[in-house]
Amino acid sequence: MLDFNVLIPETAEPDKLWDLIILGGGPAGLTAGIYAARYKLETLLLEKSIVSGGQLTATQWIENYPGFREPVLGKKLAADMEAQAKHFGLKVISENVQSVNLADEIKEIETDYAKYQAKTVIIATGSSPRRLGLSDEQKYAGNGVSYCSTCDAPFFKDKVVAVVGGGNTAFEEALFITKYASQLYLIHRREEFTADRIFQDKVFAEPNIKIITNSVVTGLNFDLQVGRSLNLQNTISKESSELEVDGIFIFIGNLPNTALFTQQLELDEGYVVTNRKYETNQKGVWAIGDVQKGVLRQVATAVGDGAGAAHQVNKYLVENH
């Protein structure tokens, strides 16, 4: 079945003083946008991709988001959230935020194309996939190394692939990738997995998935298009081995997208430090979703954060302006 997405980048007046600018259009930012627009705050959401939804668009099915007895397509959930937010008047612009000035009363946000000003800012820039850290990992990204199964799994039809990771994402994506791959090796550095039981049961029942535990990937032998392999090392016996694969998908957690804020916000291991009201150490700046320190990183929690922070922003604007 063919589907057709209608997403057209808009532009916004740069001279306006916005009540609120939201950075990032994942589930956290979009939900904050829905609430802010309904509070009738003049709200601008800046999202670098033309497709909102953040990591929601990088996965096929979401099974644990309340309200959907049948799994819901990540990209459908994302598109619906965006349409709902726009329906209430949220302005969504697809521009990449380049720099920010959060210290002053009026916050300044600069993108590749314009500078915007706001009374308050919500940071919802989410996170990006963590890399394994191998020397030629970057070189083969898009050519054998992947972090997005909905994007790249179809290129591995009837091929042999490795999936690295032991959490929910690795397990869920492995199940999706086996629909294409003829053989899948799930490689994890420990004996035990952190993935939910429900995913583990499904993966273990899959005849095409072979589990390799206590092993780390130490090298990619990807020079040629055929006859590729991985170097593995057993973390206990320290023995090395080689595993023939055509490609590798890496799902070993995330890193927060906070490079923009290092000089201006209190961060801990890169994550933004917030309190229970989503406040950061800067007055008039809140942070929600995956970027925060010490939270569960899920769609349901991101959405809850968005609602909560928009409420805080509204209260702040009523009291201070």
- Which residue is it, tokens 């898009």? 142
**Which of 43, 94, 215, 274 is close enough to bind other proteins by CB under 8 A?**
94
Q: Is 20 in the site for ligand FAD (CB under 6 A)?
A: no
For 287, half-sphere exposure in the C-beta direction (CA atoms, 13 angstrom radius) is 27
Q: Is 132 in the site for other proteins (CB under 8 A)?
A: no
Q: Would you say 6 or 296 has its CB closer to other proteins?
A: 6
Q: Three-state SS for 271?
A: strand
End-to-end CA distance of the chain: 51
CA distance 209 to 186: 7
- For 50-111, give the DSSP string: SS--GGGGG-SEE-SSTT-SS-EEHHHHHHHHHHHHHHTT-EEE---EEEEE-SSSSEEEEE
User: In angstroms, what CA-CA distances link 260 with 19, 92, 222, 254?
Assistant: 21, 20, 34, 17
Active site residue 305: no
- How far apart (Å, rounded) are the C-alpha atoms in residues 90 and 87? 7
Q: Which residues pair with 187 in a beta bridge?
A: 164, 212
257 contributes a contact to other proteins by CB under 8 A: no
Q: Which does 154 bind (CB under 5 to 8 A by kind): ligand FAD, other proteins, none?
A: other proteins
Site string for ligand FAD, 145-184 (x = CB under 6 A): ------------------------x--xx-----------
HSE (CB half, 13 Å, CA atoms) of 275? 8
Question: Quick check: 125 binds other proteins (CB under 8 A)?
Answer: no
DSSP letter at 131 equals P
C-beta of 8 vs 318, nearer to other proteins: 8
Of residues 32, 36, 44, 56, which one binds ligand FAD by CB under 6 A?
Answer: 56
Q: Is 27 in the site for ligand FAD (CB under 6 A)?
A: yes
Active site residue 223: no
Q: With H, G, I as helix, E, B as strand and everything else as coil, classify residue 123.
A: strand
Q: Which C-beta is closer to ligand FAD: that of 25 or that of 247?
A: 25
Residue 293 interacts with, from ligand FAD, other proteins, none (CB under 5-8 Å by kind): none
> What track of x and - describes contact with ligand FAD for positions 69 through 98 (by CB under 6 A)?
---------------------------xx-
Q: Is 151 a catalytic residue?
A: yes
Q: Does 299 bind other proteins (CB under 8 A)?
A: no
Nearer Cβ to ligand FAD (232/272): 272
Catalytic residues: 148, 151-152
